[in-house]
A and B are shown apart, each in its own frame.
Chain A
Amino acid sequence: MFHIYCPYCGELREEEEFHPRGQAHLARPADPEACTDEEWGDYLFFRDNPRGIHHELWVHSVGCRKFFNITRHTVSYEILETYKMGELPSFTAEHSRGNSTEAASRQAQVAQQAGVHV
């Protein structure tokens, strides 16, 4: 069972409080009517299934009801960061160790909440 840091509540909570909502950063095309059938089909049905770093949309459904994103490693299941809507991940497939000071600050926040030194 995951231990998930809600970036809005600022707390680590049990997975039971959350719902996963699939792949993150899927933008609905701005003008759907201008999409070809193939483009619309891609948006509707096609999802990544990477081995490694994956960005996921979750909702704190029985907590603050906020949607937010998780960067999770699909092999180790480690959650590398959670971040609010509108923010960008600092851990990506290209930068698996985190590409900014943001990464360190996000991990430090979680560690502080957990009372753990990293």
Chain B
Amino acid sequence: MSQPNRLGQGGRIDRAHTLTFTFNGKRFQGHAGDTLASALLANGVDIVNRSFKYSRPRGIVAAGAEEPNAVVQLGSTEAGQVPNVRATQQALFDGLEARSTNGWPNVQRDMMSLVGKLGGKFMPPGFYYKTFMAPASLWMTYEKFIRKGAGMGRSPAENDPDIYDHLHQHCDVLVVGAGPAGLAAALAAASGGARVILVDEQEEVGGSLLDTRETLDGKPAHQWVAEAQQELAGMDNVVLLPRTTANGYHDHNFVTLHERRTEHLGETAPLLDGRRQVRSRMHRVRAGRVVLATGTHERPLVYANNDVPGNLVAGAVSTYIRRYGVIPGRRLVLSTSNDHAYRAALDWHELGKASGREVVAIADARANPDGELVEQARALGIRIITGSAVIEARGDTRVSGARVAKVDLEGFRVVGEIETLACDTIASSGGYSPVIHLASHTGGRPTWRDDLLAFVPTLVKGVSAAGGAQGITATAEVLADGVAAGRQAASDAGFEAASVCLPQVAARRDGVACALYQVPHEKATLRAPKQFVDLQNDVTAAGIELATREGFESIEHVKRYTAMGFGTDQGKLGNINGMAVAARCLGKSIPEVGTTVFRPNYTPVTFGAIVGRHCGELFDPERHTALHQWHLEQGAEFEEVGQWKRPWYFPQVRPGAANSERESMAEAVARECLAVREAVGILDASTLGKIDIQGPDAREFLGRVYTNKWAKLAPGRVRYGLMCKDDGMVFDDGTTSCLGENHFLMTTTTGGAAGVLEWLELWHQTEWPELQVYFTSVTDHWATMTITGPEARKLLAELSDIDLDREAFTFMDWREGCVANVPARVFRISFTGELAYEINVQANYARHVWEALFAHGEKYGLTPYGTETMHVLRAEKGFIIAGQETDGSVTPEDLGMQWCVGYDKPFSWIGQRALTRPDTSRTDRKQLVGLKPRDPKVVLEEGAQIILDPNHAIPMPMVGHVTSSYYSPTLDSGFALAVVKGGQQKMGETVYLPMADGQTHEADIVSPIFIDPKGERQNV
């Protein structure tokens, strides 16, 4: 298989090492050292994709990260699929399989291209918004087809077999980019002793030195690159990361680096010593100083049909010829505004002549170009057409000609005759844009420099730019600038400024470039053939002009309306040209139009690298109680409460079931509920937040953060309390026990534990530092086992030395003693309405005590229950759960809990003042009530909206919603808690709950306490 465009010699590829790959199912060959793009060009593959919106055929345009068209899908297996890979950045490996991401039935013959050809005028910017706007309900349907048509690759449908790492790094100086400026900066900084990280996104370091015509110290530039690389590799204080992209520059010199370790070897990471290698690493670097040596991106010119395959950026032509030994055509026309681009023609002429390649002409927009490279071209006999530019490319699936004309840059018009030159390749250059993406990530707006015709970065503290990144392009100056930047960064970081011996580079005299972005056409922009500004998003000069005519004057609005610079492209090639078009249309200068903001990531980063090892079991930590193993052994189903795993219910084998079938959740919960109401149940309540509070002012502090009174709570007693924010809204509740005059134990909700502790610290540290009080989280220190039910006292009496007499150990008392021979605190508090003891023991005794309770409990019918039963039992008693009955807009009064509010406490406690605000004292606030469905079989939906009149026209006025709803086996009926406007005054009234399926449920407003309203059962 021949590679028709491969040169016989030259380039940094290994011709002895041939690799086979497939593209769109066809087999090709390339060499080690190729990128997928250079190998495709070597094989004469013109069309690599179809465009995003118009389905026009597209070829390779650039040679690096800025490539807009050659975005391909990789992968021979489902699990190995990788979308959005730039062929220009993918090293070729043997067996690589790639496909175009767009094009149906294939890229060569694409049905959608009819749209692009015929429909160009019918698809202006905003086409989709305008056409598919009505009816709005169908947008979702349209969108599916539009997305399918758009095609930007797909993610794999199988799990990724690869592993990814995160590394946290610190360094004194981070140098981004290892071209001449970056290498020099790294050498300078490292020689002074600074710890340096040097990263470069390409397969090899060296940047522009890998394809330059210049010599360093009279030797090919790549030799100096190799020497510099070797010197850096020998330094202990340098980490050199090739194939690593600095994708995001975040606050305070935090930079994320994505290192691709195996993507040049295969589609999944190969094994090493039988173990899978890490595919990529995300380095999270906190750098003392950052040097941006990111170089430039060359701007193509915007002329008609500039998207036909065979149109390339001039510098890319040189890169393919000199670095990869690939000449991407036979007959070249160059259109340029500057001297530097001449090297494309010189390289084509010098290295392609032997294989019959020809430079047809150079169209130079300047009237009198006279730089050194221009003179070299003249000397070689290359035709130079001055004051001219390529105004239009001819051709369909490949360039067949270039229309060249004299252009009046000031008047933006074509003057004189138009000459058509036969050619198959057009290289263009409109100048060089410093790569300012990273500098923009931190919010720095770039500054326009008229002398450079480019934006240069505006830098925040701790960062500098070197070389091309700040508009310096001559190699000798770039090297010197790199050294200066490296020395300054190291010295800023506290290191000696060392000297670096730089190679000699011959100075070159370049002529002045002219400002050319969009090339005028003999027809007005809106009627001329398409002149593409952003090839990836199919944004044309006409589209931008139309946007400005429709009133989009801000460049940020133009961007969003036309999609210029969107997506994975991030405006690398097109942004400045787009601004120039907008500026021309608006009669402004480019700096007046301003620039849009570049955002991370610079190039796409695979999700695997972002996630690292934080997936599967390591996605989020799990918290287990000391009794977790027992719950597992009993076959409990679990519920996640924050990070805790709590038993939800304990399904038993159905009595008499032949195939050991287990109970349903409803059956298990009904059994567990009845066990508590009729015998005794046990709950693992260890997850409740526990805060130990000590200090002479502890009591005063409690009085300020709780709504109720704490002044007289005696040691040995327990009290329930509500906590509000200062806006008067309930945010947590729990019991607090007096352990000693200056010592209390507070419990919080499971989910609220950390938040409540921070809340207490906030008030203590910021408002009342004069109070002597200390808070310690003891949640994990204690295991809490609640035994509850009429038989609870008899059971505990068998195991404890505490006097359980109902007069000696009354409701809301706590006692210290032994349970199962283990020191314990026992609290007589109840969340079920039944007689209950909460036994607290040191966590590592939990299983011993728990099993002792079961050893004695069998005869009493001791039944383990989970959170679902806990919820049913507490709701039957009208006990709230903070975060379920409350949502940050519910006051203690809304809950009917005035009994828990100390209105006459001396200190204005947190939330008190807000209760008399007009809004909180309204009588029509949503208030907590019970709901009894008319049909006892109905269990209302939690969150269901409540209305008063089912015949009211839609929209119906909603007066409240259901907060908790369950089936009660004790009542043999559904029941619910709800908040209803003015509900406390509506007892006995009927409300309605319309459901999504068209049914409307009827329910009566009742007291929220459904069982034992006098509270006698907990005092048996």
Binding site for B on A (CB under 8 A): 1-3, 14, 19, 21, 27-28, 31-33, 35, 37, 40-41, 43-45, 57, 59, 61, 65-67, 75-79, 85-86, 114-117
Q: Is the CB of A21 within 8 A of B762?
A: yes
List the B side residues contacting A66 at CB < 8 Å. Answer: 765
Instruction: Select one of A3, A27, A41, A115 contacting B493, CB under 8 A.
Output: A115
Whether A117 touches B492, Cβ cut-off 8 Å, given contacts A1-B252, A1-B254, A3-B252, is yes
Q: Is the CB of A32 within 8 A of B288?
A: no
Whether A117 touches B769, Cβ cut-off 8 Å, given contacts A28-B726, A44-B726, A79-B252, is no
Q: Is the CB of B252 within 8 A of A115?
A: no
- C-alpha spacing A117/B493, complex, angstroms: 6
Q: Is the CB of A116 within 8 A of B767?
A: no
Q: Is the CB of B288 within 8 A of A116?
A: yes
Q: Is B758 an interface residue (CB 8 A)?
A: yes
Whether A65 touches B761, Cβ cut-off 8 Å, given contacts A2-B251, A28-B726, is yes
Chain B, Cβ-Cβ closest to A84: B765
List the A side residues contacting B245 at CB < 8 Å. Answer: none
- C-alpha spacing A27/B286, complex, angstroms: 36
Q: Is the CB of B494 within 8 A of A1?
A: no
List the A side residues contacting B288 at CB < 8 Å. Answer: 114-116
- C-alpha spacing A41/B918, complex, angstroms: 11
Q: Is B460 an interface residue (CB 8 A)?
A: yes
Binding site for A on B (CB under 8 A): 172, 250-254, 286, 288-289, 442-443, 460-461, 491-494, 726-727, 758, 761-762, 765-767, 769, 908, 912-914, 917-918
* B457 nearest CB across to chain A (Å): 14
* A69 nearest CB across to chain B (Å): 10
Q: Is the CB of B913 within 8 A of A1?
A: no
Whether A59 touches B758, Cβ cut-off 8 Å, given contacts A85-B765, A85-B769, is yes
- C-alpha spacing A57/B492, complex, angstroms: 30
List the A side residues contacting B250 at CB < 8 Å. Answer: 1
Whether A116 touches B251, Cβ cut-off 8 Å, given contacts A40-B917, A76-B443, is no
Q: Is the CB of B908 within 8 A of A31?
A: yes
List the B side residues contacting A114 at CB < 8 Å. Answer: 288
- C-alpha spacing A90/B547, complex, angstroms: 48
Q: Is the CB of B726 within 8 A of A3?
A: no
Q: Is the CB of A86 within 8 A of B908?
A: no
Main secondary structure of the interface of B (DSSP, over half): mixed
Q: Is the CB of A40 within 8 A of B914?
A: yes
Whether A37 touches B917, Cβ cut-off 8 Å, given contacts A2-B251, A115-B494, A116-B493, is yes
- C-alpha spacing A54/B914, complex, angstroms: 28
List the B side residues contacting A2 at CB < 8 Å. Answer: 251-252
Instruction: Select one of A27, A31, A44, A67 contacting B914, CB under 8 A.
Output: A44
Chain B, Cβ-Cβ closest to A114: B288
- C-alpha spacing A44/B919, complex, angstroms: 13
Q: Is the CB of A116 within 8 A of B492?
A: yes
Chain A, Cβ-Cβ closest to B912: A32
16 contacts between A and B (CB under 8 A): A3-B252, A19-B758, A28-B726, A37-B918, A40-B914, A45-B727, A59-B761, A67-B762, A76-B443, A76-B461, A77-B251, A78-B460, A85-B765, A85-B766, A116-B492, A116-B494
* A47 nearest CB across to chain B (Å): 14
List the B side residues contacting A77 at CB < 8 Å. Answer: 251-252, 442-443
- C-alpha spacing A86/B913, complex, angstroms: 25
Chain B, Cβ-Cβ closest to A25: B766
- C-alpha spacing A70/B917, complex, angstroms: 33
* A92 nearest CB across to chain B (Å): 19
Chain B, Cβ-Cβ closest to A115: B494
Instruction: Select one of A31, A43, A61, A116 contacting B758, CB under 8 A.
Output: A61
- C-alpha spacing A43/B725, complex, angstroms: 13
Q: Is the CB of A78 within 8 A of B908?
A: no
- C-alpha spacing A57/B442, complex, angstroms: 23
Q: Is the CB of A33 within 8 A of B252?
A: no
Q: Is the CB of A59 within 8 A of B443?
A: no
Q: Which of A3, A31, A114 has the most CB of B within 10 A?
A: A114
Chain A, Cβ-Cβ closest to B757: A65
Q: Is the CB of A33 within 8 A of B913?
A: yes
Q: Is the CB of B492 within 8 A of A44?
A: no
Whether A40 touches B913, Cβ cut-off 8 Å, given contacts A2-B252, A32-B908, is yes
Q: Is the CB of B908 within 8 A of A33?
A: yes
Chain B, Cβ-Cβ closest to A67: B765
List the A side residues contacting B286 at CB < 8 Å. Answer: 3, 14
List the A side residues contacting B460 at CB < 8 Å. Answer: 76, 78
- C-alpha spacing A59/B769, complex, angstroms: 15
* A87 nearest CB across to chain B (Å): 12
- C-alpha spacing A23/B172, complex, angstroms: 33
- C-alpha spacing A33/B911, complex, angstroms: 11
